[in-house]
Amino acid sequence: MAVRRCPQCLTVIPAAATLAYSNSIECSGCKKKLTVSDGSRFLAALAGLLAAVLVWRLWGSTDGMLGWVKPVLVGFLAFSIVAPLALAFLADLRLKPEEPVYEAAPTSGHGHH
C-alpha cells in the first residue's frame, strides 16, 4: 500500500493535509477520520533529531559569551525543517479509533446546600 493513502478506500491524501491535520484528517473519498501512525511520527522525529545533532556538531562552538546559542539555534532550525519533511514522505495513515461519547449525568432538583 502506498504512503498517504486512505486504508479504507485508497484515496491519495495530499502531503499538506497530512502535515496540517495529522490527528484528524478526513478522507475526501469515504469521509472516514484518519490519523498518522505512531511509527511514522517516531521515524520523522528521529530524522529531525539526527539532523539537529549533525548540524549542531558541524557548527561547533563559537567564541564569546553567547557562543553556545548559535549551535543550539541551528540545531533547532534543522529539527524544525527536517521532521515535517520526513513526515510528509513517511506518513502512513490509519483509521482513527472512534472516541467514546459521554452523556451528561442526570441532575436532580434536590441539592444539598
Question: What's the pLDDT at 51?
Answer: 95
Listed in sequence order, the residues at least 6 apart from 41 whose beta carbon sits closer than 8 Å to its beta carbon are: 22, 87
57 within some domain = yes
- Count the domains in the chain: 1
**What pLDDT score does 110 carry?**
64
In a domain, 58, yes or no: yes
Query: Measured between alpha carbons, how far is residue 29 from residues 5, 8, 11, 55, 93 in Å?
Result: 11, 9, 6, 41, 14
Residues 6+ apart with CB under 8 A from 109: none
Per-residue pLDDT at 1: 37
Residue 53 lies in a domain: yes
- Tell me which residue range forms the domain holding 88: 15-95
pLDDT per 10-residue tile (average), the chain, 113 residues: 72 82 82 87 94 87 76 91 90 80 72 58
C-alpha pair distances (Å), 85 with each of 3, 15, 21, 47: 14, 9, 15, 9
Asked if the structure places residue 64 within a domain, the reply is yes
Is 77 among the domain residues?
yes
What is the pLDDT at residue 45?
94
User: Is 65 within a domain?
Assistant: yes
Has residue 106 been placed in a domain?
no
